[in-house]
Amino acid sequence: MRLKWALYTKYVRVILRIIVAYPTARIERKSPMSEAAERVEAWRREKRKAGYRPVLLWLPIEAKSDLDALAYTRHQDMAACVVDAVRALATSQGTRKTLRLDAHQLATLKAELTAEILAQLAGHGAPDLLPRAPVPAEAPPPAAPLPAGMKHCKQGHAYLATRAECPHCARIRKRRHRQLKAQKRTG
């Protein structure tokens, strides 16, 4: 038994000496990260510095599809949609104060206000101190009861309740969006 143990320990010592004296290429050199991996790591570091933390969510496929569609329609990434949803839920349940504007919303609001003020200055010489409410050209006729399966949009158009949006308002919205895109392209 002692002979086996002595041979075993001698074997281990020889192997250890070989490993220490002649390290293999894997141990000797560090494999450099690929360019893509370095970019990902840099992006993660920047996100952590900005106060973000990684979260893994396991969602049913239907919820994942809904989240993808929502992010696409809002022109946001999925993380921004999840943050907005969590904040909206917390606000609606009264566990959080009302929503604050994020940087993009604040910039958009400032741009709209600046454009409105500049338009008033250019048109009248001085802006009105009181905001003007839009005055309808004619008073809308009294709303008649709608047939079953119909509903009104905010503008008063009647449309099928099975549709997600008023077709007339959707056409106007899409036309306005196309005009804005054309203006951005032409400068």
d(CA 67, CA 59): 10
d(CA 153, CA 31): 62
- pLDDT tens per residue across span 154-187: 887 888 888 888 888 899 999 999 998 888 888 6
Sketch the domain layout of the chain as residue ranges.
Answer: 55-107, 153-187
Strand stretches in the chain, DSSP E:
150-152, 158-160
Tell me what pLDDT residue 129 has: 53
- Output the pTM of the full model: 0.35
What DSSP string runs through 80-102? HHHHHHHHHHHHHTTSSPPPPP-
Does 32 have pLDDT greater than 60? yes
- pLDDT tens per residue across span 123-156: 765 545 555 555 555 545 555 667 777 888 888 7
Which DSSP state fits 155? T
